[in-house]
Amino acid sequence: MKKREAGQTTAEVGFMHTLRLAFIRPVTIMQEPIVFLTSLACAIQQASLFCWYIAYPLIFQRVYQFDARRQGLTFLPIFGGNILGVVVILICDKLKYQKARVIAMQTGTRVEPELRLYAACIRTIATPISIFWFAWTVRPYIHPIVPELSGLLFGLAFACIMITYTLFKNEIYGADYGASAFAGEVMFRYLLSAATPLFWVQAIDSLHINWSTSLIGFISVLLIPIPWMFLRYGPYLRSKSKYVPAEPARI
């Protein structure tokens, strides 16, 4: 009987521990500046994409009278930009991170996780350009391919930020806390992304196409300093974190 009670107690403790890891830790780790700021940037980038899901069919139908088939094709540049973004990440990784990794292996030192961020720095420039490009070239007298091609830069930026920040946080927090940091980010991303489409049609009607879209561009401009700040102050922020393991993860 005592063994059964002990087994039940152990199971209850294990269940509560699992619940804490699954629901509590992703929330508490959001207090980390690194996790919060990267998650905020990813959430706004994804919310912008969800706004495009609403805006593209609406805008291209109103301005260019596209049918449903042609509206769907307007998303192809974003897909192409995603592929370009992966290529950019691989190039940045080879030029910066892998070179530093070889030197670190030779000298017995550690690779700075901030070396993962150069592709995210490219994103900070690409996103505002793509949004303002789209906002101010959607005109009946401008060929639709012009605003459509802005999706190349947006897709590139989307891939750069999502992949780069995930690698960055996973390398900082390791196996113990990396998954919690990612879970907190995903929660933040989808809460914001679920809310923004609810009012985006009203925003387009109230502010019109140009200024409603430019509003997202202005918000993206505010996010420009984030990766540059981590390049400068990342080691200091990591030294103050209670979640960073003594031996950083190596990927």
State the pLDDT at residue 110. 86
* pLDDT tens figures, 72-109: 999 999 999 999 999 999 999 999 999 998 888 888 88
State the pLDDT at residue 21. 66
Single-letter code of the amino acid located at 239: S
State the pLDDT at residue 3. 45
State the pLDDT at residue 125. 94
State the pLDDT at residue 8. 46
pLDDT digits (tens), the chain, 251 positions: 444 444 445 545 566 767 666 678 888 899 999 999 999 999 999 999 999 999 999 999 999 999 999 999 999 999 999 999 999 999 999 999 999 988 888 888 888 999 999 999 999 999 999 999 999 999 999 999 999 999 999 999 999 999 999 999 999 998 778 888 998 999 999 999 999 888 888 999 898 889 999 999 999 999 999 999 999 999 999 999 888 886 544 44
State the pLDDT at residue 150. 96
The domains found in the chain, sorted by start residue, are 57-239 (1.20.1250)
pTM equals 0.87
- Tell the residue number behind the tokens 């780069």, with chain if given: 164
Q: Which two tokens stand for residue 193?
A: 């992304």
| Cβ pair 82, 155 in contact under 8 A | yes
37-55: burial string, b at 16+ Cβ within 10 Å, e else: bbbbbbbbbbbbbbbbebb
